[in-house]
Amino acid sequence: MMSEPTTVTAKRLMQLIETQGYRCALSGRPLTPETASIDHIVPVARGGTHDMSNVWIVDHRVNLAKGVMTTEEFVAMCREVVEYQNGKSQRHGAPDAPKEII
């Protein structure tokens, strides 16, 4: 038997962030009020629900990068980036520092 969805409230979100040890659920980055962002584990655009069983707190930059990907898709993409960058630096030496865009 499925339980009723639990409504997302500020109090429940604070309990969640405490449970997460004030760290991003995906990256482990420390969270502050300025960097914390609510994320749907299964994106609403992909059929996820807006209830407590489908949310966690992540760093806002991680949330922007994840977009509407599932966690599995996002982690796979991150692995591809790391593998490519590691291979690139091994083939060509360490990359130059990125130039600041004005």
The domain total for the chain is 1
Q: How far apart are the first and last CA of the chain?
A: 56
| Nearest-angstrom CA–CA distance, 5 and 47 | 14
Q: What is the CATH number of the domain that holds 65?
A: 1.10.30
Residue type at 43? Answer: P
Condensed to tens digits (0 to 9), the pLDDT of residues 17-74 reads 999 999 999 999 999 999 999 999 999 999 999 999 999 999 999 999 999 999 999 9
CA atoms within 13 A on the CB side of 81: 7
Residue 5 is assigned to a structural domain of this protein: no
Residue 78 is assigned to a structural domain of this protein: yes
Residue 86 is assigned to a structural domain of this protein: yes
| Nearest-angstrom CA–CA distance, 48 and 55 | 9
